[in-house]
Amino acid sequence: MSTHNEKSERIIRIFKRILPSPLTIAILLSIFTLLLAQFLTKPEGVSHGSYFVELVTSWESGLWDSSGGGLYFAFQMMLILVLGHVLALTPAIDKLIQALLNYCTTTANSAVVVALGSISLGLINWGLGLIFGAIIARKVGEKFAKLNKPLNYGLIGGAGYATMMTWHMGLSGSATTKSMESGYIQGMMDNAGIPGDYPDFIPFEATIGSTMNIVLIIVCLVLIPLTLYLVAKRKKNESVPVFKSIELDVEEDNEEQIQGAERIDYSKFFGIGLGSAFLIFAVYKAVTYSGVSSLGFIHLNFINFTFLGLALILHKNIVHFSNALQVAVGDVSGILIQFPFYFGILAIMSSSGLITLLSDSITSVANAYTLPELTYLSAGVVNFFIPSGGGQWAVQGPIIIESVQRIGADLPKSILAMAYGDQLTNMLQPFWALPLLGITKLKPHQLLPYSFLVFLVGLIIFGVGLLVF
C-alpha cells in the first residue's frame, strides 16, 4: 500500500503534467474563449470569417484596454506588489514579520499563521490580504531554507492564496460595495438597457453585515486553516526550499563619499519628510471620506499611496528605497504580460454576448428559491473568463438583478451568491495567483493541489450556506 507521501507526490506529478506555465494557460484560455464565441454567438447572416475577424479585433482592443479595469488596473497591481515587497524589505517590517515567524516552526503551524493572517487582512482589503499572503509565505520559505529544514512550501503558498477565496465577503467586495452606492443599481440597469424600477441601494447590513455572511466568514476562518493544518500534519511533500533568501545590503552610508546633489538622495530628512507628507495626506483622505462604506477609502490607490509613504519613511532615504525597488521589481513580470490576455478575454466575452449566454443558460431554469444557488454556480464558471470581481459584476450584475425582479428572488442574497461564486474559483483560475507565484517563486503545479483543496472546502461552505440561510 502506498504511503501518504507517495500518493501526494503522484498528485503533484499529475498536476505538473497537465498544467503548463501561467502565460500558456492565459493564451490557451484566450483561444478557447474565441472558439466558444465563434460557434455559440455568431449572428445569422454573418460569415464565420468576418465574425472571426470581429472577435479577434475585440480581443486585440481588449489587450490595450485603458479603462479603470484594464491597463490602469494592471499597473495598480504591479505597484501594490512592488511597493508591498519594498515595504517588507525594510528593517522595521522585517522585524514584525520575524515575530510572526517565531510561531512558524512546522509546516502545520506555519499554514495556520499564514492562512489566518492573509484571510483576515483580505477581509479588510483584498490587496492587503494578497500581498501579505505572498510575502509571509515567502518569508516562511526563506526561514526554512536558512535552517535547512524541510517544509511543504506549496501548501504554505496555498495558505497565503486562500485570502482570494474569501475577499468578496469583506469590506472591499466589488458587488456588495458598489450596490451600497445610492442610485448605482438603477444607473447600471439603465446603461444595460433593461428598463424597470430597481432599489436605490442595498444596505451594508443586508450583504456584508448579514447574518449569513458573518457566519460564513467565521466558518472560513476556522475550517480553512484547520484543513490545511490537518493535511500538513501528514507531512506530505516536505523538502528543504531551494531558493535563495533575498536580503538588502544595509551597509552604513559613507558620508565622506557623498557629494553634490547625491546628498539629496541620501538625505534622511528628505526621504522621511517626503514619506511623512504622503502619509499625512493619506490620513486626511481617510478622515474626510464620506462614502456609504466607512472603510470604502481603502482601495488600490490608497494602499499604494500609503505603502509608498511608509516605505520611504522606513527605508529613510531615496537610495535605500531604490535598492529595495530593484529587488522587488522582478516579481511583476507575470502581470506585465499576462494581465492583458485576460483583458482580451473579457472583451470577447462582452462584445459577443457570450457572458449573457452562459449566465442565462443557468438562471433561466431558476425559481425564487434556487436562483441564489444557481447564481453561485454560474458566477464560478464566469470567473474563469472574467477573473476581476469588479469586471464580472459589471457584466453579470444586470443579468442577476433582472432575474431577481422577474421571479421575485432575494436580491441581497443573490448578490452575495455571485460574490461567493466569483471568489470560489479563484482557487482554480491562475490570474490572481500570478502575484503570489512571482513573489514566492512557486510553480503552478506546486500551488494548485492545495488551492484545489481550499476550493473544495469553499464549495461546501458556500453551497450549504446558501441553502441553509
Domain boundaries, the chain: 264-329
Q: Cβ distance 341 to 59 under 8 Å?
A: no
Q: Nine-digit cell at 3?
A: 504511503
Q: DSSP string spanning 37-80?
A: HHHHSPPTT--HHHHHHHHHHHHHHHHT--STTTHHHHHHHHHH
The set of residues, in sequence order, having a beta carbon less than 8 Å from that of 300 and lying 6+ positions away, is 73, 76, 77, 80, 127
Q: DSSP string spanning 326-365?
A: HHHGGGGHHHHHHHHHHHHHHHHHHHHTHHHHHHHHHHTT
Q: Note the pLDDT of residue 253.
A: 55
Confidence of residue 359 (pLDDT cuts 50, 70, 90): low
Confidence of residue 412 (pLDDT cuts 50, 70, 90): very high
pLDDT digit string, tens, across residues 242-289:
866 555 555 555 555 666 678 888 888 899 999 999 999 988 888 887
User: Looking at residues 442-456, what average pLDDT do you find?
Assistant: 92
Longest dimension (CA), the chain: 78
More confident position, 33 or 220: 220
| Cα distances (angstroms) measured from residue 38 to each of 281, 298, 350 | 50, 40, 13
- pLDDT of 202 over the 50 cut: yes
More confident position, 297 or 463: 463
3-state secondary structure of 297: coil
- pLDDT of 4 over the 70 cut: no
- Backbone CA torsion sign across 210, 212, 218, 220: negative
Of 156-165, 333-342, 396-405, 412-421, least confident by mean pLDDT is: 333-342
Q: Note the pLDDT of residue 1.
A: 40
Q: What percent of the chain has pLDDT over 70?
A: 88
Residue appearing with cell numbers 436605490 = 200
What's this model's pTM, rounded to 2 decimal places?
0.78
